[in-house]
């Protein structure tokens, strides 16, 4: 990984493709946004810190690069979404050592 001027680590295309696969599988992220997600996390000179993927977590469904976790808006939080967040974060935790 290389570190740009803002201090964020730039990881590989394959790694963020794997992250997005978890978002699609567990949280219903929109598949057609995969390329943009990968670009903004692995290829951009200023990588994203957060990404609004929406899916099953509603408009506030976000991926947080720093924590390699997802969340949703507090007002959208339900027991169903809590379960989705837990499953998604468990899947993402398998990639934590690589982020």
Q: Which tens digit of pLDDT belongs to each residue from 34-56?
A: 999 999 999 889 999 999 998 99
Using the 8-state DSSP alphabet, how is residue 2 labeled? B
Question: Which pLDDT score is estimated for 11?
Answer: 61
Question: Which pLDDT score is estimated for 72?
Answer: 96
Q: How far apart are CA 26 and CA 30, in angstroms?
A: 11
Tokens 């929406």 correspond to 54
Listed as ranges, residues in the chain with pLDDT below 70 are 1-11, 97-99
Using the 8-state DSSP alphabet, how is residue 96 labeled? G
Please, is 59 exposed, middle or buried when counting C-beta atoms within 10 Å of its C-beta (0-12, 13-18, 19+)? exposed
């Amino acid at each position: 990984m290389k570190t740009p001027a803002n201090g964020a680590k730039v990881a590989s295309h394959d790694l963020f493709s794997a992250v997005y696969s978890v978002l699609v599988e567990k949280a219903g992220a929109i598949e057609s946004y995969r390329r943009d997600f990968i670009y903004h996390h692995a290829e951009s000179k200023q990588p994203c810190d957060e990404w609004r993927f929406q899916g099953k977590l509603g408009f506030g469904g976000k991926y947080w690069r720093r924590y390699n976790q997802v969340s949703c808006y507090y007002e959208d939080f339900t027991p169903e979404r809590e379960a989705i967040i837990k499953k998604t974060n468990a899947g993402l935790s398998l990639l934590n050592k690589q982020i």
